[in-house]
Structure 1
Amino acid sequence: MGKSRGRRFRQMPLSPTGLEQRCDEEDDPDEEPASELLEKVQHPSAEVREYACASISKLLQEQQAIPAFLQRDVVRCLGPLLMDYSLAVRETAAGALRNLSACGGFEVCDDMVSKDIMTPLVALLKECSTGLDANQLSPEKRIEMDKNYTEDIANEAINLLWNVCECSSTAVHIFNKEGCLEAVLRYMKKFSTNVDLAISAANCLQAVTEDNPDLLSSFNASSQQVLETVMLCPESTMKHILLRTLTAGIVWNIKGTIPPGSLGSMINAILKIFSESLAIDAGETIIRMKEAEKNRLKLAVERETEENMSDVTENCVLSEGYDLEEIPKVKKGENDISDFLPPDQRELKEVTALLMAQQTALEIIVNMCCSEDPSDDEWEELSSSDESDFMENLYNDGSGLLMSPLCLSDEVNSAFMNNLIPKKILEKTAFPNSVALDICMHNPSWKPLIKKLNAVQCRALTCLQNILLVSDVDCLGGASLQSIAQHLLQLVFAKIELPTDTEFLEAITSALRALLQTMASKNISQCMTPEQLLSLCEAGMDSSNASVKVNIVSILGISGSILAKGQETAETLKVIGKFLLEVAMKESSLVVAGEALDALFDVFADGKEAEKAAVEIRLLPALKEFQPVFKMRMRKEGKGKYSTDQLCVLDNVKMNLRRFIAYQETLGKSPTCNNEEL
């Protein structure tokens, strides 16, 4: 499962200069400010350059402003400013480029790399890294302000590097070639004094180490020691939990450098960090942090009031004719607490860090659950089987499924069990705390947390899906498959209206599909009533997401194959069969249509009830009529529209359709027909 890419841009408050005011008042699209601002970044005055970069940074937070700046070569204008003699200009220029990379997307990042943004960026990163070690700047670059420019510039630069490396393989190649690893590790070592910088560096390094074998040789004992030190950092803030989680992800990415004898302990250490992250109740944390914020702001109001009262009292004492009645009284509600909200919003940032840590942990756990797709040789072996072996090949172990070989390494499985990972994942699949949701709904700055809470739930459902497929059910903390099924169904049918959110629907249907598959393989009775099954199917097929539809028809196939072995189920099988036939014949996605055919093979493979239902819905004639249509669709739509893997599966479905028709004919359900191959 791919990780979602967030908008990591910099929101920078600007001073009330005439330049900013002019940009804010610029409403006429014909009066484009891009040209003027890009001219001002070349101004001799460092202050003008700084505010021009800050203004550009603000405008680049809006995607509609990006094309105008790209047309005027903003990258080549701002790139040299990363090495400007003014540190303030460096910071604002890096912030503007960071926003461009975050809001512009993959193509813009590729364009930035092609215009050589990496040359000044790498130089800046290395200079900042040296500055961190020296803890001082050269005299001409030192600015007397209460601000650590080296670390602030480094934070902007590392976020820019993170963005472009996540989007551009060329940027990653340059990262490897220029030896940026050492600089990034130095930023991570600042975790005890600047955790934000360390988190940015860890995020960047986690992205760069993913599927990057060329970088592995750069991880020597010293660099591994840095990662180990960060993983063992004792601080317990949510930000440090996030940092440890990201670092554990880096170590997992470079596991190829770990000696075999240390692999087990390394995996256990990683999953221990994930377990600690997942053990925290995000809902309770939101409630607690919101209360902490309220108390802190209340104290700020009281301190401000006391200071104001003190000033008034002193003024009144000095005034002739002093009267107690003249002392102004502070009315209840007169002070708006939001006015005292500090710009860092520390409690909100802590909760955000926790949710990011949990989401990251779940995404990495998904990758730790490994499964192998059928190889080309396996497909060829299956395809070359005789028709007489069709049912045996297709419905192996009585599960009604063509199952891929799945595995979980002994080291990972043992660490999963030791750290109660599956049990904690199951807990995370529940809906977020209603009180916490209410807090977020009624506080605008906290409202974005709702999306993050939902993302954690969806990642947990995806993890549950993988665990059900690759591990023993005993690892789920004693929860039976039936109880897990009831839990998942409660998530689906908890509200009057079925869920429509695409991400949630994909996650919940994937988990249900894996659960039903596991239950079928163990000959455990299914949990969904026919009414629930059809309601879920109707909701899923209304989705525009092909993955949701694939899951839905697969669920129908699994459930139908079990019903076919029961008694007096023909009526339900007829409804399922008609539904799947309609999907196969009318669905615009060839992948979904193929999955629907596969499900039909599952449902009507065997059993007296299935035979009865097949005759009544005229399944065989319908499939024979549809056979040339499917062949034509594959020829017209297959190439160029679908991946090699999808075409491989579709080709297998096409072959199985021919075999299924032949198999049905051998049952004597219809006169012998022309068995011409597709």
Structure 2
Amino acid sequence: MGKSQKKRQMRRHNPMRVPDSHLPKGLEAASSSSSRKDAILPILQKMESVDPAERKWACVAVSNLIQNDPSTRRLLQGKNVVGALINRLSDSEEEVIVEATGSLRNLCIDGGFDICAEMYNKNILTPLKTFIPKISKTLSEYLENPKTAPENAQQLVYEFADNVITILWCLSETSNKAMNAINQISLVPFLMSFLASRDKLPISTVTSAAQCLYVLTDENPPAVEEVRSNAPYSACILSIVQSREGLPQANGKNKEVEYDRSLALQVLCCGILRNISPVPPPSVAATVAVDRDIVMPTLEPVLSLISLPEASQDAQEQIAKEDAIPALEKLSLKHTPKSDHKTPSELELERLEHKLRTVQLALEVLTGVCATLPDPDFDVRDTDGEGADEDDEEAHEDEDMDDEPDVDMAPDDESGMKARSGSNATIFQTLVAPLLTLIQPTSLSFSPLDGLSPHPPTTSALSAIHVSALECLNNIFLSLRSAQVDALRADPDSGRRVWDSAWQALGAVGTDVDKPGQERRRAMWEIGVGVLWGVAEVWKGLLAPDETHVKVLIQLCDATTDEGVKVKCIGALECLAQHPESVDANRVIATYLLSLLPPWPAKPTPREPLLQAVSALVDIYSDETLPYDTNFRQGRFLDALVASVEGVRKAVRGIDRKKERELRARGEEVRDNLVAFIEYRRGLGV
């Protein structure tokens, strides 16, 4: 069973903050669903006006038009608004450039990878590169002598820097090609200058710099090495996490917003420290155990930062207030729109979303931590290691009859064993309980099946939290499965509570996940079934299978085209089938697993699910003394297994030794186990 690993193209906290996948393809469909299509042409025309006021107006208008409006965004994109805005980055007027970067920033955040890729392909990096030394020079002058410019001029530069950094952050997550190009800019010193001067700069700009650095150091060796090898850099990042500076006590809305942003900064710095670990001497960061002493103590409280049901209710109240406001005036040059002009309800929704994003970021960092739990300090060996693949089947090795965990069980290590048991109990109490709370959907967690959420950013944040919390749980139970879990198995009620809670969450998600716009519902099931497998593994033989659960897992296994999901379904079913007293459920599950084996009456089972099904049947019936073994004998399962041998051999021979070495090795092991199992059962004579 593989661990949920972060990958750049999947790890983005808001792949599409305002999704448009529910819309039919084509500009005509977007035009028919957009209420603002008549405003687009005038805006694009004014963007090329000789009057700088009109050009500025047009740039701001783009941001206003796309707000929570995916159809209009798609229409603008079809009219080459990205190219038009990139052209404005070379404008002769500074304010036009600032507003153009602001609109491009919003397009990046709301539109996700497609728009970011378009920006990269249209060479946005060329003008952005020229801005970085100019921003550095201006900021240095302001920091040395704040009186050199009025406050509004400084604010303009801070806003501009924030926009540029955010665009670079989003582009960094678009593709390896974009990341490699950004590596050539040498952004690390630029970004670190914001973190080093955090007490003199707006917290929002500093947080954007940290977010960009977090992304740049995610499995990106050039940036990792640059930060790691510069002792002042890692010391600065560590000091942000360890210090409570810049975390004002909540006193009014502004203080609360500042606190939220400062907390997000600490979470991001935890992520950066994990990305660059281990840090070499002489940095002070080399003297701390990052996960144990920094990340866990900082991030565990963040999991309880906000109640998701209350956040959902609060958001709906603010949405109702916003809907009650009369329609905004038509855009005009006389009343130039302001990009920062927001209603109180809009500001409250933004604050709420930011707090939710902080929780999601904490979960994202913890997902990596959970992949290595229990803490290595407790001398528990993680057989898969942090570099394990996402594919569960590659890490799920066939188990022996005595099912011994891969733990150092040396007799002279009694104290270490106690420490391990305590570690597992602590993990369970401090992480599992809040994570189970965070996977429960709210009324705003997913887009309706027939349209768009009433507030897509809140929905995007909530669903991202649910998915990330499931990823953490997946890694926790995978790690616990490989470790000493006697204390947990001694409390089957805990297992049942976790199992029921996971099913409750998935039940609220529903099974209608294949419609356009329901990608997050589908992700919940794809990751959630891995959690079910992990829980069932830890409490194998102790969870009495529910008929409905068995039926859903079988239906999902049949319906999905994702081989990894099929493997997880089979793994969960295998564990449920090993509840000794559940003879009927065992028969249903085993009959289904046998249907996946050759010779097939219909479509052949893909290779990895096939290997998992064979392995499952061998494990289930490896002990002929169990009550449910009567199904094996009365159902003539041995005959079915014998009939499958040649087909299994053929499937294994079809796995390329050079290209898929690990899968071939696993296939050969499963094939040999099957043959040996058949001989063993024949030898029993029953």
Report what 1:455 is aligned to. 467
Matched, 1:660 2:674: yes
Matched, 1:605 2:622: yes
Report what 1:254 is aligned to. 276
CA–CA distance in structure 2, aligned partners of residues 169 and 589 of structure 1: 30
Task: Check the 8 A contact 1:284/1:433 in 2, yes or no.
Answer: no
Matched, 1:580 2:590: no
Task: Check the 8 A contact 2:306/2:356 in 1, yes or no.
Answer: no
CA–CA distance in structure 1, aligned partners of residues 648 and 11 of structure 2: 35
How do 1:100-119 residues align onto structure 2 when only pairs under 5 Å count?
Answer: 100-102=107-109, 105-106=112-113, 108-119=115-126
Report what 1:20 is aligned to. none
Please, which of 472, 483, 505 is the counterpart of residue 525 of structure 2?
Answer: 505
Matched, 1:593 2:610: yes
Report what 1:365 is aligned to. 369
Please, which of 109, 132, 135 is the counterpart of residue 125 of structure 1?
Answer: 132
Q: Which amino acid aligns with 1:277?
A: V
Q: Which amino acid aligns with 2:667?
A: V
Offset at 1:420?
5.2
650-659 or 226-235: which moved more?
650-659
Offset at 1:248?
0.7
CA–CA distance in structure 2, aligned partners of residues 164 and 643 of structure 1: 35
Q: Which amino acid aligns with 1:668?
A: R
Matched, 1:210 2:218: yes
627-636 or 247-256: which moved more?
627-636
Task: Check the 8 A contact 1:462/1:510 in 2, yes or no.
Answer: yes
> For residues 465-488 of structure 1, what are the alpha-carbon distances to aligned partners after superposition, in whole Å with 9 as ceiling and x for unaligned?
2441355448x9x89552331112
Task: Check the 8 A contact 2:237/2:273 in 1, yes or no.
Answer: yes
Offset at 1:612?
4.5
Matched, 1:50 2:56: yes
SS in 2 for 1:167: coil
Offset at 1:105?
4.7
Report what 2:234 is aligned to. 224
Please, which of 294, 300, 304 is the counterpart of residue 269 of structure 1?
Answer: 294
Q: Which one scores higher on RCO, CA 8 angstroms, separation ≥ 6?
A: 2
Task: Check the 8 A contact 1:60/1:66 in 2, yes or no.
Answer: yes
Please, which of 538, 549, 552 is the counterpart of residue 518 of structure 1?
Answer: 538
> For residues 9-38 of structure 1, what are the alpha-carbon distances to aligned partners after superposition, in whole Å with 9 as ceiling and x for unaligned?
899xxxxxxxxxxx999979999956x755
How do 1:188-587 residues align onto structure 2 when only pairs under 5 Å count?
Answer: 188-189=195-196, 191-192=198-199, 193-219=201-227, 220-231=230-241, 232-234=243-245, 235=247, 237-259=259-281, 262-267=286-291, 268-280=293-305, 282-283=307-308, 286=311, 341=345, 343=347, 345=349, 347-349=351-353, 351-369=355-373, 371-373=382-384, 394-396=398-400, 398-399=402-403, 422-431=428-437, 437=442, 448=459, 450-455=462-467, 457-469=469-481, 471-473=483-485, 481-492=491-502, 494=504, 500=511, 501-519=521-539, 525-529=541-545, 531=547, 534-535=550-551, 537-538=553-554, 540-541=556-557, 544=560, 546-560=563-577, 562-563=578-579, 572-584=585-597, 585=600
Kindly tell me: are residues 195 and 420 of structure 1, through their superposed partners in 2, closer, same or farther at Cα, counting changes over 3 Å? farther
Q: Which has the larger radius of gyration?
A: 1
Kindly tell me: are residues 496 and 166 of structure 1, through their superposed partners in 2, closer, same or farther at Cα, counting changes over 3 Å? closer
SS in 1 for 2:436: coil
Task: Check the 8 A contact 2:169/2:211 in 1, yes or no.
Answer: yes
Task: Check the 8 A contact 1:248/1:270 in 2, yes or no.
Answer: yes
Q: Which has the higher helix share?
A: 1
Kindly tell me: are residues 470 and 42 of structure 1, through their superposed partners in 2, closer, same or farther at Cα, counting changes over 3 Å? farther
Report what 1:620 is aligned to. 638
Report what 2:335 is aligned to. none
> For residues 363-390 of structure 1, what are the alpha-carbon distances to aligned partners after superposition, in whole Å with 9 as ceiling and x for unaligned?
3323544955499xxxxxxxxxxxxxxx
Kindly tell me: are residues 87 and 344 of structure 1, through their superposed partners in 2, closer, same or farther at Cα, counting changes over 3 Å? farther
Aligned-residue identity in percent: 17
Q: Which runs of 5+ in 1 are unaligned?
A: 12-22, 302-337, 376-392, 672-678
Offset at 1:160?
0.7
CA–CA distance in structure 1, aligned partners of residues 317 and 76 of structure 2: 42
Q: Which amino acid aligns with 1:49?
A: R
Kindly tell me: are residues 27 and 527 of structure 1, through their superposed partners in 2, closer, same or farther at Cα, counting changes over 3 Å? closer
Q: Which amino acid aligns with 2:261?
A: K
Task: Check the 8 A contact 1:41/1:53 in 2, yes or no.
Answer: yes
Task: Check the 8 A contact 2:13/2:361 in 1, yes or no.
Answer: no
> For residues 518-557 of structure 1, what are the alpha-carbon distances to aligned partners after superposition, in whole Å with 9 as ceiling and x for unaligned?
345xxxx522246466345346436535444322211232
Kindly tell me: are residues 667 and 251 of structure 1, through their superposed partners in 2, closer, same or farther at Cα, counting changes over 3 Å? closer
Kindly tell me: are residues 537 and 8 of structure 1, through their superposed partners in 2, closer, same or farther at Cα, counting changes over 3 Å? closer
Q: Which amino acid aligns with 2:205?
A: L
CA–CA distance in structure 2, aligned partners of residues 541 and 171 of structure 1: 37
78-87 or 102-111: which moved more?
102-111
Offset at 1:578?
0.5
Q: Which amino acid aligns with 1:206?
A: Y
Task: Check the 8 A contact 1:473/1:481 in 2, yes or no.
Answer: no
CA–CA distance in structure 2, aligned partners of residues 537 and 440 of structure 1: 23
Report what 1:134 is aligned to. 141
CA–CA distance in structure 1, aligned partners of residues 240 and 180 of structure 2: 26
Kindly tell me: are residues 82 and 183 of structure 1, through their superposed partners in 2, closer, same or farther at Cα, counting changes over 3 Å? farther
447-456 or 268-277: which moved more?
447-456
> For residues 607-629 of structure 1, what are the alpha-carbon distances to aligned partners after superposition, in whole Å with 9 as ceiling and x for unaligned?
24576533432323323444444
Report what 1:390 is aligned to. none
Offset at 1:126?
3.2
Kindly tell me: are residues 643 and 58 of structure 1, through their superposed partners in 2, closer, same or farther at Cα, counting changes over 3 Å? farther
Kindly tell me: are residues 363 and 340 of structure 1, through their superposed partners in 2, closer, same or farther at Cα, counting changes over 3 Å? same
Kindly tell me: are residues 592 and 77 of structure 1, through their superposed partners in 2, closer, same or farther at Cα, counting changes over 3 Å? same
Task: Check the 8 A contact 1:373/1:404 in 2, yes or no.
Answer: no
Task: Check the 8 A contact 2:183/2:223 in 1, yes or no.
Answer: yes
Report what 2:393 is aligned to. none
Kindly tell me: are residues 158 and 372 of structure 1, through their superposed partners in 2, closer, same or farther at Cα, counting changes over 3 Å? farther
Task: Check the 8 A contact 1:84/1:90 in 2, yes or no.
Answer: yes
Q: Which amino acid aligns with 1:551?
A: K
Q: Which runs of 5+ in 2 are unaligned?
A: 19-29, 249-258, 326-341, 374-380, 387-396, 410-415, 447-452, 512-520
Matched, 1:78 2:85: yes
Report what 1:378 is aligned to. none
Offset at 1:635?
7.4
Report what 1:14 is aligned to. none
CA–CA distance in structure 2, aligned partners of residues 571 and 170 of structure 1: 54
Q: TM-score, normalised by structure 1?
A: 0.69
CA–CA distance in structure 2, aligned partners of residues 625 and 418 of structure 1: 43
Kindly tell me: are residues 419 and 195 of structure 1, through their superposed partners in 2, closer, same or farther at Cα, counting changes over 3 Å? farther
Kindly tell me: are residues 649 and 542 of structure 1, through their superposed partners in 2, closer, same or farther at Cα, counting changes over 3 Å? same
Q: Which amino acid aligns with 1:275?
A: E
CA–CA distance in structure 2, aligned partners of residues 405 and 112 of structure 1: 52
SS in 2 for 1:396: coil
Q: TM-score, normalised by structure 2?
A: 0.69
Q: Which amino acid aligns with 2:234?
A: Q
Kindly tell me: are residues 468 and 243 of structure 1, through their superposed partners in 2, closer, same or farther at Cα, counting changes over 3 Å? same
Report what 2:254 is aligned to. none
Task: Check the 8 A contact 2:166/2:208 in 1, yes or no.
Answer: yes
621-630 or 57-66: which moved more?
57-66
Offset at 1:70?
6.5
